Chains A and B, each alone.
Chain A
Amino acid sequence: DTISATVVAGHPEVFRWVKMFPAAFEPAVQKALEGTGHQISFSNQFGGSIAGVGEELETVEDGLAEIGIIQSLFDPAKMPLQNVTYYTPFVSPNPRTVNELMNELVLTDPRLQAAFTQHNIVPLGGPLAIDDYLLLTTFPVKSLDDLKGRKIATAGAAVSWLDGTGAVGVSGQIPLYYNDIKTGVYDGVILFATAALPAKLHEVAPYITRVGFGAQYAGEIGANAEWFKSQPPEVQKALREGAKAAGDWYLRSLEEGTDAALAKMAAEGAHITIASEDMRKAWAKGMKNIAQEWANKADTSGLPGTEILKLYMDRMRNAGVKPLRDWDKE
């Protein structure tokens, strides 16, 4: 029989975490279904055609779409614990390390699964990884002092990374960055390489400093729970295998894309430097402990914030990562 499934993503297909559905997820699911007598007819609804960015969770929850990219980054109120990486900067610049761990935790730890279950969603895997965030500025940055009084735009939780630097954090909109830097509204942005290149931000903010804010976890492929549970076991298995294939494809493509983006920006005249260890340490130490604040906030609303913070940091350290700051031990 043919099962029909609508796949939803708020971003258009040019984004890697959307492209992974037709490029890896769907073919892998079909392949896994071969010989089972089932097949799935996917209807892709991307780029806001049925749901905007950050509306995917509700759309899958309600069953308007069966499968979607659940963007915890854009739903911090519904997926607070999943945002742990954004509150623990300077841990690891490697998206594979961060996301293999986060994916494993989301798929196995009941405390992280609860947010999905509560919203009638089964997390399948295929983490939405974000490559190491960079500092792109109109001026060279040699030390923290260079940032004093400069206006740096970012979005969401990353605004708090500027705490203690003397720079002024301005919340901006990614599509507007180029123009606003060009006219001089901001002196720079904090963003990742694979988004900075297509937006050509290196043309207006050519000084790129690899501060090592870290790679991030931003979401996961999820399926409507009622629908998923009503599927025969072999279909469920195929969907999970599809998500695993999508995750592999995504991470590989992201790693290649990040290297290519940095190389291309450098070739087009960007000055890419790696921040000195002193500067990185000064930056990390100068911030207030945003991780503790975040964990305490989660604790007061009855969520295991402190536990998840400790779990994440412990598991990262166990994996051999050396965080610049042990956010959980202060």
Chain B
Amino acid sequence: MTGSLKAVTRALDVVIDGMNLVGSLLIGGLVLLVSTDVALRNIANSPLIGVPEIVALSIVGIVFLQLPYAMRENRLTRSDAIPDMLVRRNPSLHRWMEVIFNLVALVVVALILGFTWPLAEKAFANNLFIGATGTFTAPLWPVRIAVIVSCVVMLLQLLRHVSRQMGGRQ
């Protein structure tokens, strides 16, 4: 691998780890948010507003911030019986199947990216939010951007998977 390519993949790892950290912190934040709401409601009779809306939005953020990491660590759910058998009996067929599977994943992620983009544009242009005016509202665009960034990073990660498999490394 050339030096510049190495730098790119290192940068990719930093981004994936960073997104993962933000996603993890969001989970911690949810715990704090919900328990603060419970505490304030019971002790001070003044619950936080908008908790259901924030929880609903954060879950999408958490999922897409963590997905690239899960992908890099090969944690996406899959059945391993046939791949495990092939890796022993016919390693080259196994490698080609892995390449094809990752290319399929690449297309799917590209589709998600392509069809989330217009939704993000709309969220921006029309100031879309969830919640109700006058009580609590949260903008939609940050979540849409998280999905888009996640897709871009997943695409790069899948390319890396494919190139490694084509190069014969695991």
Contact = CB atoms under 8 A, between A and B. Distances in A.
Given A77-B128, A78-B126, A173-B52, A149 B45 contact: yes
Interface centre among B45, B130, B132, B140 (most CB of A within 10 A): B132
B117 interface: no
Pick the 9 closest A-B CB pairs, nearest first: A157-B132, A156-B132, A77-B128, A159-B135, A160-B134, A77-B129, A168-B45, A170-B47, A290-B134
B75 to A, nearest CB: 28
B47 A76 contact: no
Contacts of B53: 171
Contacts of A170: 41, 47
Contacts of B126: 77-78
B128 A159 contact: no
Interface string B97-132: 000000000000000000000000000001111111
B133 A294 contact: yes
A151 interface: yes
A80 B46 contact: no
Interface string A145-168: 000010100001101100000001
Contacts of B127: 77, 301
Interface residues of A, number: 24
B41 A168 contact: yes
B49 A159 contact: yes
B135 A160 contact: yes
Contacts of B134: 87, 157, 160, 290, 293-294, 297
Interface in A276-330: 290, 293-294, 297-298, 301
